[in-house]
Amino acid sequence: MTSSLKPIGLFGGSFDPVHLGHINLAESAVDLIGLEQVRFIPLNAPVHREASLTRLEDRLKMLHSVLRPPFFLDETEINRGGVSYTVDTLRSFRDEYPTRSLCLLLGKDSFDRLDSWRSYDELLSIANIVVAGRSNSYNGIPAHLKSTFESALSESVASLHSKKCGVLYFLEAPLTDVSSSEIRCNILKGESLIGLVPDEVAFFIEQNKLYRT
């Protein structure tokens, strides 16, 4: 039996830097799904990319500058230390919220590469998965993931409230087409960050001369 409380969104990433794409995805999930909150969970050490050259302290300060309820900074992976694996993070949240609906928020690009993640086939046994950036349809699931995820697909927001795990939902939402790597490249080229990051983040980057090398 699930809790009557609204679902909690879990949003992991390097946030290097946090940008408007991250914020807009979280806002859409709150507005369109009815999440109670979204936890932004910065990773400690990445698995699929090189370690950030940005100090962890700076990444956290940028997040602190823009997150307001219902968005919260969560340092679960940082406190755990070592390489950050999503399956371990979900297990820790499930231990904390045994009956609550937990919704892992993913961009479509991350979902398409999910089979490269540790124990990816266990994720739905722990949480629901919400994928942003593609129509909520069978065709949103790449062929190499269909055998694992097609039976979990739902077009009902209510299922994310009634089930604590096991649901795959595609979120139809206007998204900002931007990536942290694109932003870092723009900074190196001296290009504007207008429309890419919140004003607080742009100010922090400028004041601390981040991403210049």
d(CA 191, CA 73) in angstroms, rounded, equals 29
The model's pTM is 0.94
- Report the C-alpha gap between 194 and 176 in whole angstroms: 12
**CB distance 168 to 149 below 8 Å:** yes
Q: Which domains does the chain have, with CATH numbers?
A: 8-176 (3.40.50.620)
190's CB contacts (< 8 A; 6+ apart) are: none
The predicted-structure confidence for 36-79, as pLDDT tens digits, reads as follows 999 999 999 877 566 677 899 999 999 999 999 999 999 999 99
Looking at residue 153, its pLDDT comes to 94
Cα 22 from Cα 18, distance rounded (Å): 6
